[in-house]
Amino acid sequence: MKSSLVLVLVLVLVVLGAWLLWQWGFCRFYVEADEMAVIIAKIGDPLPPGQILAKPGQKGVQEAVLGEGRHFLNPWLYERVIKPVIVIPPGKVGVVTSKVGDDLPQDEFLAEPGQKGIWRGVLGPGKYRLNPYGYQVEIANAISIPVGYVGVITSLSGEQAPPGQFAEAGQKGIRKDILQPGLYYINPKALKTDVLEIGVNQVSLIGKAGGEVITKTQIASQNVAMEQLQRQVLDEQKDKRISYAKRERAQEAVPAPMFEGRLVQQKMPDYTAALSINQFVEFPSRDGFEISLDMTVEFELQPDLIASIFRSYGDLPAVVDKIIMPQILSVSRLKGSAYRAKDFIVGEGREKFQSDLTESLARSLVERKIVVHNALIRHVNVPMQILDPIQQASIAVEQDLTNQEKQNTAKKQAELNTQLSLIDQAREQVAQQTEKIKAEIRADQEKQVAMLQADTLKQVADIERQTAQVRADRTRKLGGVEAKVIELVEGEKAKGFELKADAFGDPSGFSLWEFAQSLNPQVQVNILHSGPGTLWTDLEKARLGDLGGAAAIQKEK
């Protein structure tokens, strides 16, 4: 029994080891970062006709792909192909063309997910794992509209919009809504975007040499470097303008014009720098002279009207060619023919003509939704047969005015010199007057200082006098007080003697008491009483101390 269990266990371990060896040694594979694995099944049901990618259980290229990481597949049943993932960089979009899915309806070329054809939606920046056997991704630029521009959208799919109307949702044609400055991820197969200038642009006409249109593209590039994406969008718009111009020239096929009996060679506009113009302003004056102008017209395209202008006339070159230039030529000839050639050289005629031209252009173009701000006359080309005499006369007049101005200048210079002399004289007078005022101020200051010193000495003397009086009063008062003290002390002493004398009742007793008080304390008084013997015998026996004691006894009595 035990041997059977051991045998089974060994068999299980062998099978498990063989399975692990098979899985990890033959079936295991890795998909690195930014890669995907396309799986091809070698067995399964055959694909129906027209189907490219296989579903699970079908033979062929599998629709689902494997992402990065570790995977296990039987190499006898499946084959793998490593492909890079689809990377859409910033500022780009991915236009997907699906090879699988349902067929599109008739007259439709944009597909939704699950349909075959170009997807209407686009892939934004990022990484995508779309099976390359079933999907093709074309990377295109996103639309970056710079400041000062707007995007006019033209829908390329749907039913054609009625003539003269904007395209609605699901219709083909120009849309009314525009794109403001910013970055947009738009499918270029579904929508065409024309980036047009708004605001003020210029049409510059340079006599018979033609002219050019100065747009924001040229103005901006002269001042600041635009972002790469915006530059690409504007470059694409230049290519579109060249295509528009070539297509219109091919449709018109107008023969070369004549000028003074010569053929005028018309050149294709060069849009790489500015919009070239092969027309110029020329008209006869009222007195029959040919006049040509160098002028600049500033016009503005407003954002809310730009879509309507684009639908009616086309891009900016078409607007200039079809609307602005004809009006400039027509109004210039109409207004200029009312002036003499001399009026364009001297006097106020040139300024009045410029004002009339600006007002007339503004009135005629506002009906076409274009705003004109200025029509500036920079130079007037007049025939030499009239220009030279006028110039000579003008030079003579100017020379006369110059001579008069020189005389006036000399006169003013003499007056100036006189005034400068008077100024120097006045400066000296002011300096002397200043010194005098300084001396007066200095004397007055010294006088005030002396007066202050005298007043100070006087005040000091008054203070000293008052101090002496105070001292005298103090001495007098102190003397009186001392005398009064002596008087009171001595009086009290006298009263004390009187009281003492009254106390003794006898002046002689008081005198003896005073006499005893004045004796030396060492003196002794002895009182001897008479007894037997003689006085002298007793005196011999008496001692000095006995005398003091006797005196003391007598004092007590």
The residue assigned the tokens 């027509």 is 330
* Whole-number Å distance between alpha carbons of 218 and 324: 19
Rounded to 5°, the CA angle 498-502-508 comes to: 95
pLDDT of residue 259: 35
For residues 256 and 114, the model is more confident at 114
Of 179, 160, 162, 178, nearest to 170 by C-alpha is 160
The H or E element spanning position 217 is: helix 216-223
- Amino acid 102 reads D
* Whole-number Å distance between alpha carbons of 354 and 294: 12
Mean pLDDT of 408-422: 88
pLDDT of residue 262: 36
pTM: 0.55
Task: Give 197's pLDDT tier (boundaries 50, 70, 90).
Answer: confident
C-alpha gyration radius of the chain: 66
* Whole-number Å distance between alpha carbons of 154 and 172: 7
For residues 551 and 68, the model is more confident at 68
Least reliable range by pLDDT among 75-84, 130-139, 365-374, 497-506: 497-506
Residue 96 has pLDDT above 90, yes or no: yes
pLDDT of residue 125: 93
pLDDT of residue 122: 92
- Amino acid 247 reads R
Of 353, 352, 348, nearest to 335 by C-alpha is 353
Task: Give 224's pLDDT tier (boundaries 50, 70, 90).
Answer: very low
Residue 556 has pLDDT above 80, yes or no: no
pLDDT of residue 216: 53
Residue 456 has pLDDT above 80, yes or no: yes
Task: Give 385's pLDDT tier (boundaries 50, 70, 90).
Answer: low
Most confident among 221-235, 390-404, 459-473 (mean pLDDT): 459-473
φ and ψ of 147, to 5 deg? -65, 135
Task: Give 146's pLDDT tier (boundaries 50, 70, 90).
Answer: confident
Of 285, 467, 453, nearest to 385 by C-alpha is 285
pLDDT of residue 346: 66
Mean pLDDT of 300-309: 88
CA of 320: how far to CAs of 213, 325, 370, in Å? Answer: 8, 6, 11
Task: Give 198's pLDDT tier (boundaries 50, 70, 90).
Answer: confident
For residues 105 and 551, the model is more confident at 105
For residues 306 and 508, the model is more confident at 306
* Whole-number Å distance between alpha carbons of 295 and 331: 13
Rounded to 5°, the CA angle 532-536-541 comes to: 85
Task: Give 292's pLDDT tier (boundaries 50, 70, 90).
Answer: confident
Residue 257 has pLDDT above 90, yes or no: no
For residues 312 and 262, the model is more confident at 312
Residue 112 has pLDDT above 70, yes or no: yes
For residues 218 and 474, the model is more confident at 474
User: How many CB atoms sit inside 10 A of residue 291's CB?
Assistant: 24
pLDDT (tens digit per residue) in 477-512: 888 888 888 888 877 877 777 777 777 777 777 777
Least reliable range by pLDDT among 159-168, 208-217, 504-513: 208-217
The residue assigned the tokens 């006869």 is 284
For residues 277 and 522, the model is more confident at 522
Report helix, strand or coil for 357: helix
Task: Give 321's pLDDT tier (boundaries 50, 70, 90).
Answer: confident
Task: Give 322's pLDDT tier (boundaries 50, 70, 90).
Answer: confident
* Whole-number Å distance between alpha carbons of 405 and 145: 58
Q: Which 8-state DSSP code applies to residue 117?
A: E
Task: Give 211's pLDDT tier (boundaries 50, 70, 90).
Answer: low
* Whole-number Å distance between alpha carbons of 191 and 171: 11
Least reliable range by pLDDT among 295-299, 343-347, 400-404: 343-347
Mean pLDDT of 515-532: 65
Number of H helices, E strands in the chain: 11, 25
pLDDT of residue 109: 83
Task: Give 88's pLDDT tier (boundaries 50, 70, 90).
Answer: very high
DSSP string, 243-286: HHHHHHHHHH-PPPPEETTEEPPP----TTTSEEE---EEEE-T
Instruction: Give the rounded distance of the alpha carbon of 191 from its chain centre.
Output: 37
The residue assigned the tokens 């200038």 is 197
For residues 260 and 309, the model is more confident at 309
Per DSSP bridges, beta strands 171-179 and 159-160 are: parallel
pLDDT of residue 279: 60
Question: What does the block give as tokens for 303?
Answer: 């954002």
Q: What is the mean pLDDT of the chain?
A: 79
CA of 183: how far to CAs of 174, 176, 555, in Å? Answer: 20, 19, 145
Mean pLDDT of 94-101: 91
pLDDT of residue 554: 44
Mean pLDDT of 245-271: 46
Residue 537 has pLDDT above 60, yes or no: no
Least reliable range by pLDDT among 152-166, 268-282, 403-417: 268-282
- Amino acid 10 reads V
| Sequence-ordered list of residues with C-beta below 8 angstroms from that of 74, at least 6 positions apart, any chain | 27
pLDDT (tens digit per residue) in 344-374: 776 677 788 888 888 998 998 888 888 998 8
The residue assigned the tokens 């220009």 is 387
DSSP string, 297-337: EEEEE-HHHHHHHHHHH-SHHHHIIIIIHHHHHHHHHHHHT
Buried (b) or exposed (e) across 526-544, using 16+ Cβ within 10 A?
A: beeeeeeeeeeeeeeeeee
Span 197-253+267-382 CATH architecture: 2-Layer Sandwich (3.30)
Instruction: Give the rounded distance of the alpha carbon of 246 from its chain centre.
Output: 45
For residues 16 and 344, the model is more confident at 16
Most confident among 252-261, 264-273, 357-366, 533-542 (mean pLDDT): 357-366
For residues 143 and 211, the model is more confident at 143
pLDDT (tens digit per residue) in 428-452: 889 888 888 988 898 888 888 888 8
* Whole-number Å distance between alpha carbons of 526 and 51: 178
